Homo-oligomer: A and B are copies of this chain.
Amino acid sequence: MGSVKTKRMPRAVREQQMLDAAVRIFGRRGYTAASMDEIAELAGVSKPLVYLYLNSKEDLFTACIRREASALTAAVRSGVRPGLPADRQLWEGLCAFFTHTARNPEGWTVLHLQARTHGEPFAAEVDAMREGIVAFVTQLIDVAAREARPQALGCARPGRHPQDPELPERETAGLAEALVGAAESLAAWANTTPGVSAGQAAATLMNFAWAGLGNLMEGRPWSPPDHD
């Protein structure tokens, strides 16, 4: 009795092992097809212990989404140094984003594909994270627009008052949505295309986004053709 001594681990460590295994299995199989047996086996624990710690498949999935969302947001925020010019901040943020998604492909799949389609409460968790990132990017674009303002005045279009903001609020919000959507798409592409590094994905998007945003901020939008 009690002669076989099992290794005792702190609960927090065990829980992280379960979450590691769960993210991997959810990411590969999807929420519906993932089995608690397989998750327990990969974590090296019994299935009852998973239920004891994480309660249910639903709660386990929610815990995965929360952990992966926090890790991604933290990686992006800590990759950006606030004192730098806006383009440098965006560049560093993109590098941090693509590095994180390349290192955690299953975590990215859970956030980007799985979490958004299984209704509440999962969708709300990941929507909150995405809104935080969109707000962060919106702020960067605003800062960049203010930085560009002095140069922009020289080429302001006739009839536009120099004090007018170069980019109205709705336009900035749309640009941030476009940039975040482009980053999501490129992360999935980079993770499934052999030989595309995080740095290359970041450079492609920076090139695409910044050269475009730079033009906009200096008052050189693309002009839609007259209706014909």
User: Measuring CB to CB, which residues of chain A are less than 8 angstroms from any residue of chain B?
Assistant: 29-33, 87-88, 91, 113-114, 116-119, 170-171, 173-175, 177-186, 189, 193, 196, 200-201, 203-216, 220-222, 224-225
Whether A204 contacts B222 in the complex (CB less than 8 A), given A119-B30, A185-B180, comes out as no
The smallest C-beta distance from A106 to any residue of chain B, in angstroms, reads 14
The reply to whether A209 and B207 contact each other, CB–CB distance below 8 Å, is: no
Q: With A170-B196, A174-B189 in contact, is A213–B208 under 8 Å at CB? A: yes
Contact B117 A30 (CB under 8 A): yes
Give the distance to chain B from A197, nearest Cβ to Cβ, in Å: 11
Chain B residues with CB under 8 Å of A173's CB are 189, 193
Task: Check if A30 sits within 8 Å of B175, measured CB to CB.
Answer: no
Copies of this chain per assembly: 2
A177 — which chain B residues lie within 8 A by C-beta?
182, 185-186, 189
Determine which residue in A31, A180, A183, A207 has the highest number of CB atoms from chain B within 10 A of its CB, and name it: A207
A61 to B162, CA, bound (A): 54
Contact among B31, B183, B184, B209 for A208, CB-based, below 8 A: B209
Assess the A224–B203 pair: CB atoms within 8 A.
yes
Docked complex Cα distance between A31 and B33 (Å): 14
Query: Are A224 and B175 interface neighbours, CB within 8 A?
Result: no
| B178–A208 CB distance below 8 A | yes
Query: Which B-chain residue is minimally distant from A220 (CB atoms)?
Result: B211
Best-buried of A29, A203, A216, A224 by chain B (most CB within 10 Å): A224
Task: Provide the residues of chain B in CB contact with A88, threshold 8 Å.
Answer: 225
CB distance from A92 to the nearest CB of B (A): 9
In the bound complex, CA of A122 to CA of B138 (Å): 34
CA–CA, A181 to B209, complex, Å? 13
A158 CB to nearest B CB, Å: 19
User: Can you identify 15 A-B contacts, CB atoms within 8 angstroms?
Assistant: A32-B32, A117-B117, A177-B182, A177-B186, A179-B208, A181-B181, A181-B183, A181-B185, A182-B185, A206-B224, A210-B212, A211-B215, A211-B221, A212-B213, A212-B215
